[in-house]
Amino acid sequence: MTNVLAWVSGSGVVQGIIIGGTLAFLSAVVIMNVVGRTLTTTVNGWSSIRQCGQPGNGILVRAACAKALPAVNVFEEAAYWTSTTDASGQRLTSSHDYVLHFPAGQFPPNDAFWTLTATDMVGYMVNNPANRLGIGSRSTLAKNPDGSTDIHLQSKAPDRHAENWLPTPSGNFKLMLRAYLPGAAILDGSYQVPHVARTQ
């Protein structure tokens, strides 16, 4: 075994293969990131890739989509938006409180349901004392007097409307909004997800 390791460590061929493989991997990541950015549309801090899952996509588009949103449905089946910044462009972090304000009748239009989750930056959900990992159309949400709805995004429960609270993980975090069987306004691009406003 020692002889094998010594040969590997001294072999220019093996070292060349390792270096070549590493460079190929890093090059592929850079290319997928570039392709992903060209496909991404960002409005009000929310990013989406509408082309993912389409049967005519080339290998680079499929790879970029798989890196950004593994196991994603076609946009007509499920629309996905992600956000890591607030309305001022600052990183979302648990050291601040935020509100996602939906005017009356302006929840994501759909023929199934919508849901909002907060994850760590990798995309993993994090347990919280409220045992609440998501909030959406199946939640009982309190409305404001004008019919609008505020979803509170913060690490601790708000003083009022705790039913509208989505606990956020510690540190920087990411939001993902999904609408299943999205409505026409989503499909034609006229619907816009409201920006995330920092309140504290």
Q: What is the pLDDT of residue 49?
A: 79
Give the pTM.
0.77
Q: What is the pLDDT of residue 35?
A: 46
Count of other CB atoms within 10 angstroms of residue 119: 18
Tens digits of residue pLDDT in 24-42 = 555 545 554 554 455 678 8
How large a percentage of the chain has pLDDT more than 90?
55
The residue among 102, 200, 183 whose CA lies nearest residue 142 is 102
DSSP-derived secondary structure for 25-92: HHHHHHHHHHHHHHHEEEETTEEEESSTT-TT--HHHHHHHHHHSTTPPPTTTEEEEEE-B-TTSPBP
Please provide residue 170's backbone torsions phi and psi, each rounded to the nearest 5 degrees: -70, 150
For the chain, what is the radius of gyration of the CA atoms? 21
The residue among 194, 198, 94, 87 whose CA lies nearest residue 149 is 194
Classify strands 78-83 and 174-182 as parallel, antiparallel or unpaired: antiparallel
Bridge partners (DSSP) listed for residue 100: 151, 196
Q: Residue 134 is inside which H or E element, if any?
A: strand 134-136
